[in-house]
A and B are shown apart, each in its own frame.
Chain A
């Protein structure tokens, strides 16, 4: 991931401005909002897999609380849920109602999103019993602390910071915040 100096120099260059016009602290303060905006945009793009990683979770009574997973950007259509130890893929269904009443085959484990939770139907037909450790491959919000922005997005990150320095860019950030993850 780019250093502070690299970010500042690249932003100044891309914006065509001097350090006097764009003070360093202002640029640095926009690194995190730009990472968030970039992460959310990647999640919505066709290239969403470029910013996916595995999150380890331990279901409790057949549920996984997505809101308790730091920096996950979960999308039911794009995420993959697998058993941590075997890599066996759990099958997505569209709703809690399908889990309960869909008479699904018992040779698979199914899950559905229910608000901020994932609900899991085990092979015995119970939706309150599954506890096997899982990993969720999903999009994530890159952070400075984790330095986990893939190199391929460095240029886009710089462009996003430059975008946020403009009034239109700030509006884009506000829209994304209002829309949530």
Chain B
């Protein structure tokens, strides 16, 4: 999908049909909100467990990041063109090199210090850093960390059937502006 198509399709969903002058304002509004609409699409799709196939369209396995002294920075993943959807990190699958079991995310660093069963990996996200506890040890893990999770799509990744949902989101987001013009 390209942004111009999304804008024109969303414009057609607005009722009552805007005049030509109103369309100019609405085109501006629609173009400006495209980034917010992409995030909203990612959010809705990530939470739509009823349509697991749609959900999979906006999930990916990111390139492995390297942990140093039990901490791995996920900042590179948040800075990608199609970034990891931070608020859905809880639903991400995170694996550490050499650990078979999936990492269990804990709410904060304090929770990491509590005694936990060995053989599991635990983590707590603080800012963009993921603090790790492996086999009961904090501050030691130094190897690869692979995250599979939801991402915010660029227009290229908004393929059918996501395009329809995206266009509807855009129209919904611009509704207040449509009423005002």
CB distance from B165 to the nearest CB of A (A): 18
Give Cα A26–Cα B108 distance, bound, in whole angstroms. Answer: 89
- Contact yes or no, B155 A98, CB < 8 A: no
Find out whether the CB atom of A105 lies under 8 angstroms from the CB atom of B24: no
Q: For residue A102, which residue of chain B has the nearest CB?
A: B32
Residues of A within 8 A of B155 (CB): 105, 107
Contact call B21/A77, Cβ cutoff below 8 A: yes
A174 to chain B, nearest CB (A): 27
Q: In this complex, what residue of B is CB-closest to A106?
A: B3
Listed residue (A76, A78, A104, A107) with the most chain B CB atoms within 10 angstroms of its CB: A107
Stretch at the interface among A89-97, A132-140, A153-161: A89-97
A91 near B35 with CB under 8 A, answer no
For the complex, is B69 an interface residue (Cβ under 8 Å from A)?
A: no
The contact size tier of chain A is: 10 to 19
| In the complex, chain B residues whose CB is within 8 Å of the CB of A108 | 2-4, 31
Complex contact A107–B3 (CB within 8 A):
yes
Q: How far is the CA of A78 from the CA of B2 in the complex (A)?
A: 24
> Within 8 Å of chain B (Cβ to Cβ): is A3?
no
A140 CB to nearest chain B CB (Å): 19
The reply on B27 being an interface residue by CB < 8 A is: yes
Give the residues in chain B near A102, CB-CB below 8 Å: 28, 31-32
Question: In this assembly, does A152 line the interface, its C-beta being within 8 Å of a C-beta of chain B?
Answer: no
A107–B34 Cα distance when bound, in Å, is 12
Q: Which residues of B contact A (CB under 8 A)?
A: 2-4, 7, 20-21, 24-25, 27-28, 31-32, 34-35, 155
What are the 7 tightest A-B residue pairs by CB atom distance, in nearest-first order? Answer: A105-B3, A93-B28, A102-B32, A94-B28, A77-B21, A77-B24, A107-B2
